[in-house]
């Protein structure tokens, strides 16, 4: 079941769903909108082969910057990591399905399927794939729409993985197995 605005407001009023900071335009008809943070990381095209069984060096594989009021330009077909302004904390009976807002999708920006697991708490790191032309985005813009789905029962094991509590752009935390 997809939560409507009234259900979302109820979850927030009860403190079961936390979105901080929440603004008057956060809760929408059938989901919540999240804003872009100011940290962006470009994939480094000069990086060497990445061995997924060896320690990961963020500085070798990403070029990270903070965007100011001048914004941040996503180049054509470029892959960029970004984060949300908001910290999102889901209870053990809600899952978030993350989409780019339709205005940005109509410009050709894309994000791969992203799920916020039941029990997750932290800022959301997303991958943005650029359009056919450069697009400048700005910190604070409503960029994502998250549809909240109620599970049939609370999950037995709420999320408590390696990204719990993440702040800012969080690169992959590779398993060593």
The reply to whether 82 falls in a domain is: yes
Kindly state the average pLDDT of the residues 46-59: 90
pLDDT in tens, 96-109: 999 999 999 999 99
Whole-model pTM?
0.92
The reply to whether 158 falls in a domain is: no
Kindly state the average pLDDT of the residues 17-35: 97
Range of the domain at 129: 5-44+57-150
pLDDT in tens, 75-89: 999 999 999 999 999
Residue 176, pLDDT score: 57
The reply to whether 160 falls in a domain is: no
The band of 55, judged by pLDDT with boundaries at 50, 70 and 90, is confident
How far is it, in rounded angstroms, from Cα 142 to Cα 42? 21
Kindly state the average pLDDT of the residues 132-146: 98
The reply to whether 171 falls in a domain is: no
The reply to whether 137 falls in a domain is: yes
> CA 146, 148, 154, 155 torsion: positive or negative?
negative
Q: How many domains does the chain have?
A: 1
User: What are the helix and strand counts (H, E) for the chain?
Assistant: 3, 11
Q: What is the CATH number of the domain that holds 129?
A: 2.70.40.10
Beta strands in the chain (DSSP E): 18-20, 27-28, 31-43, 62-66, 72-74, 79-89, 94-100, 114-116, 121-129, 135-137, 142-150
Active site residues: 127
The reply to whether 163 falls in a domain is: no
């Amino acid at each position: 079941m997809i939560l409507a605005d009234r259900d979302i407001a109820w979850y927030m009023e009860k403190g079961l769903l936390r979105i901080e900071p929440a603004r008057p335009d956060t809760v929408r008809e059938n989901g919540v909108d999240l804003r872009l943070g100011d940290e962006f990381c470009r994939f480094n095209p000069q990086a060497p082969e990445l061995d997924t069984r060896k320690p990961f060096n963020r500085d070798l594989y990403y070029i990270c910057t903070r965007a100011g009021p001048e914004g941040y330009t996503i180049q054509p077909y470029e892959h960029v990591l970004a984060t949300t302004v908001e910290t999102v904390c889901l209870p053990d009976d809600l899952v978030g399905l993350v989409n780019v807002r339709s205005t940005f999708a109509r410009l050709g920006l894309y994000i791969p399927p992203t799920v916020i697991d039941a029990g997750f708490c932290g800022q959301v790191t997303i991958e943005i794939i650029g359009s056919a032309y450069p697009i400048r985005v700005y910190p604070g813009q409503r960029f994502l729409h998250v549809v909240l789905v109620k599970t049939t029962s609370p999950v037995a094991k709420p999320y408590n993985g390696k990204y719990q509590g993440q702040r800012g752009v969080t690169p992959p935390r590779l398993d060593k197995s």
